[in-house]
Amino acid sequence: MSDKLYKAINNEKIELTAEEIAELETKQAEGLASAEEFQAEIQAQKDLKASAKAKLIAGEALTEDEANTIVL
């Protein structure tokens, strides 16, 4: 597999410049960071719901955030 990156312009294969490659790598890193942040938010919400459920089963008081996770 080639180490070179290309773009297509008017059906013509053109090699990317170093600046274009750097920009793509930056965007990729930002995208990965954003995806990881989103996954962390989803996991935090799941953890909060699990905590609320456990407290309800045990008869303990819920925090406001835990109570907000309950759908009536």
Q: Which tens digits make up the pLDDT trace of 45-64?
A: 999 999 999 999 999 999 99
Q: What is the pLDDT of residue 72?
A: 66
Q: How far is CA 71 from CA 17, 66, 67, 68, in A?
A: 52, 11, 9, 8
Residue 71 has pLDDT above 80, yes or no: no
Read off the pTM: 0.65
Cβ(16)–Cβ(27) below 8 Å? no
CA distance 15 to 47: 47
Q: Collapse the DSSP code of 7 into the 3-class scheme (helix H, G, I; strand E, B; otherwise coil) and give the result.
A: strand
Cβ(53)–Cβ(69) below 8 Å? no
